[in-house]
């Protein structure tokens, strides 16, 4: 019984870890098409606002960090999607 309970808890925790917060307060599975589309939209918006800032300004540096963070998340999400496809899920 204990082993079953521990497996159940592990599955719940794993599911929570794999969730991603997306726009409008929704959640999606990490690496899902919905998640990747949301990240791509966010990236486009962040790049737009970064490019509106004066080069060398603190605001531009801030948006550069935001863009880089979104790019890292997008790479991770795309890798998760590819891994899922290879595993046949």
Q: What is the pLDDT along the chain (89 residues), one digit of tens a residue?
A: 777 766 656 555 555 557 888 888 898 988 999 999 999 999 999 999 999 999 999 999 999 999 999 999 999 999 988 988 887 75
Task: Determine the pLDDT at residue 5.
Answer: 65
DSSP state of 6: H
Q: Which helix (H) or strand (E) covers residue 29, if one does?
A: strand 27-29
Number of separate domains in the chain: 1
Domain boundaries, position 24: 2-86
Question: Torsion-angle region of residue 88: left (phi > 0), alpha (psi -120 to 50) or beta?
Answer: left
């Amino acid at each position: 019984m204990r082993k079953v309970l521990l497996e159940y808890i592990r599955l719940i925790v794993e599911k929570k870890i794999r969730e991603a917060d997306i726009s409008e307060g929704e959640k999606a599975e990490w690496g899902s098409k919905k998640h990747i589309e949301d990240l791509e939209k966010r990236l486009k918006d962040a790049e737009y606002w970064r490019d509106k800032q004066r080069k060398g300004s603190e605001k531009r540096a801030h948006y550069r960090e935001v863009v880089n963070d979104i790019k890292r998340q997008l790479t991770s999400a795309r890798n998760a999607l590819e891994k899922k496809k290879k595993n046949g899920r």
